[in-house]
Amino acid sequence: MTTVETATGAAKTMVLNMGPQHPSTHGVLRILLELDGETVVKAVPDLGYLHTGIEKSCEDKTYSQAITLTDRMDYLNPLGNNLVYCLAVEKLLGLEVPKRAQYIRVMMVELQRISSHLVWLGTHAIDLGAMSVFLYCFREREEILKIFEMFSGQRMMTSYIRIGGIALDPPAGWRQAVQKFLSMMPSRVDEYEKLLTQNPIWIGRTKGVGYISPEDAIALSMTGPTLRAASVAYDNRKVFPYSSYEEFKFDIPTRTESDCYARYLVRVAEMRESLKIVRQAMEKIADEGPVKAEAPGIIPPQREKMKTEMEALIYHFKIFTEGFSPQPGEAFVAVESPRGELGCFVASDGSPKPLRVHFRSPSFINLQALPKLVEGQLIADVVACIGTIDIVLGEVDR
Amino acid sequence: MTESSSQNANVVVETLRSWSPQAVLEVIEFRGERTVVVPRNLLRAAAERCRADAKLQFNLLSGASCVDRYPVEPRFELNYFLVSIPRSDRVRLQVRLAGQDPTVDSLVPVWPGANWLEREIFDLFGIRFNGHPDLRRILLPEDWEGFPLRKDFPVEGFREVPSSGDLFKKSSML
């Protein structure tokens, strides 16, 4: 803690170091706050504490191996990370994914969106002093994680979405499990709303806090619920549909207030929309059908074929020793992650390893607007503003 | 390298060409994506045109990325991903930079959101952005040597890895 004299020498401000080990920074984020009394004059975020060089590591892996690295970026949205990377590689290869696999992907990423918003709501509420919401949110998130475990054998780092489709056929009894969740969840969302939406303390802590104008939000490249709470209905699922999203009926919730309260309302409304999408996806997913594209040399062959067909065995050996080589070129795909536009740029030089993998991570870019949100506000509102951007530091630093 | 066509009927290419004949060096079309290669000295002006032109309205700078094609020269390919929310369109602006002089005009005056995007590229590739208000490392420590995403920077790092025998000796000394 140091005291700084301003240029005029009249008023004195103090620099307070917030983080990197601070419970409300949702990871290891450090912010240097210049304070005048309790008012924030200047905020300078300092990142990189969680930098793991995932983009560099991807360049040293084959295209299939790199999938497991993507899980670990945004650890609240691993399926979305898998999806954007696989879509980019599929685009590079010109690969068509079977419809059944596309619908399963949509269902999984929408469940993931709900679980991510639940973690956001729980931790955001706990930052602002509402302890019980956290427990309720994690109770429902547990149910989603159980569904993921059922599908992939993993709760978080699923690596379930693979190049050309998905890893496994849905397990027996998956319909009942998802149906059970769908029938339970709407009343649970009502429950959170009952706790918070009309709560005077919640309103006092969030309404009018962290305002950003739509023009500033676009100029600072913000996307996702933060942008939609500023009345800009920009959602990749509608504007640039991928993975058959154009066949689903859902709304894009927007608000005009552009404060922390509006962002809360947008995210809660998004959970309800995601439930609609999951319900439609369940109807669309056929009981039988392929879940992987037909592409020998890229998609590993079925186990049974390997035991009877010489060619299948050769392909299997080639895929896992050498990998496959897309033709030289570059592909960029953007999906709507729970936090905003998640993009993946893959460049190939014709070798089995990517020349470059770049992730346009929404947390990193949305965090850029934090000084704009907090400057001029009270120090207690900094916590509300960090929470409302919904950052995942694993994705910020990659 | 990629399928490219110079005579492409596209609103972005046409608008940039009618503004300045030198503005478009090459148009790359690959898998339905359009990349417009612009010369280095015209990047900021071309970007400003993309943002402000009533026919283009690329109001959102979605991202920026760099590719190092070492040892091929010009080795750096700098890509800016532009989105037009009113027109629902995407385009990529590309600039190629030589390894000797990897400098380019910053796009922060055009889109303030370019700030951290360019800091990240400076941090990992060592490309300098003229006119950037705050060109510091962002992900790596300030005293880091080298630019890790360059192709001549090894994945495992420069330091020698001690053999397992050395490690054993050190642990027995403790």
In this predicted structure, the answer to whether residue B23 has a pLDDT above a threshold of 70 is yes
Helix A99-127 with A78-93: angle, nearest 10 deg: 150
Q: Where are the beta strands (DSSP E) in A90-235?
A: 161-162, 165-166
Regarding whether A73 and A38 lie in a shared domain, the answer is no
Name the residue of chain B whose CA is nearest to A346's CA: B67
* B155: CATH: 3.30.460.80
Q: What is the rounded distance in angstroms from the CA atom of residue A180 to the CA atom of residue B70?
A: 54
3-state secondary structure of A331: strand
Under an 8 A CB cutoff, do A365 and B113 touch?
A: yes
ipTM of this predicted complex? Answer: 0.86
Is residue B21 in some structural domain? yes
Q: Can you tell me which residue has the tokens 């004949």?
A: B21
3-state secondary structure of A207: coil
Give the per-residue pLDDT at B170.
47
Under an 8 A CB cutoff, do B81 and A360 touch?
A: yes
Is residue B3 in some structural domain? no
pLDDT tier for residue A5 given thresholds of 50, 70 and 90: low
In this predicted structure, the answer to whether residue B166 has a pLDDT above a threshold of 70 is no
Cβ atoms A102, A181 nearer than 8 A: no
Give chain A's contact residues with B (Cβ, < 8 Å). Answer: 47-48, 51, 53, 55-57, 59-60, 91-92, 94, 218-223, 232, 234, 239-240, 328-332, 334, 341, 343, 345, 347, 349, 355-356, 358, 360, 364-365, 367-368, 397-398
What per-residue string of b and e applies to B102-137 under the rule 16 or more CB within 10 Å gives b? bebbbbbebbbbbbbbbbbbbbbbbbebeebeebeb
Regarding whether A113 and A24 lie in a shared domain, the answer is no
Number of domains composing chain B: 1
Cβ atoms A360, B63 nearer than 8 A: yes
Regarding whether A117 and A19 lie in a shared domain, the answer is no
Give the per-residue pLDDT at A121.
92
Q: Which two tokens stand for residue B128?
A: 């300098």
**Smallest Cα distance from A367 to chain B, Å:** 10
Number of domains composing chain A: 2
Q: What is the rounded distance in angstroms from the CA atom of residue A165 to the CA atom of residue A90?
A: 9
At A229-265, the pLDDT tens digits run: 998 989 999 999 998 999 999 999 999 988 999 999 9
Regarding whether A113 and A38 lie in a shared domain, the answer is no
Regarding whether A110 and A7 lie in a shared domain, the answer is no
Q: What is the rounded distance in angstroms from the CA atom of residue A185 to the CA atom of residue A165?
A: 28
At A176-233, the pLDDT tens digits run: 999 999 999 999 999 999 888 988 989 998 988 889 999 999 999 999 999 999 989 8
Regarding whether A194 and A292 lie in a shared domain, the answer is yes
B2 vs A contacts (CB less than 8 Å)? 328-330
Is residue B78 in some structural domain? yes
Cβ atoms A30, A18 nearer than 8 A: yes
At B87-140, the pLDDT tens digits run: 888 999 999 998 888 999 999 999 999 999 999 999 999 999 999 998 888 998
* A139: CATH: 1.10.645.10
Give the per-residue pLDDT at A7.
55
State residue A128 phi and psi, 5-degree precision: -95, 10
State residue A68 phi and psi, 5-degree precision: -65, -25
Name the residue of chain A whose CA is nearest to B83's CA: A221
Q: What is the pTM of this model?
A: 0.89
Cβ neighbourhood burial of B77 (10 Å; 0-12, 13-18, 19+): buried
Structural domain including B52 reads: 11-173
Mean pLDDT of A17-34: 82
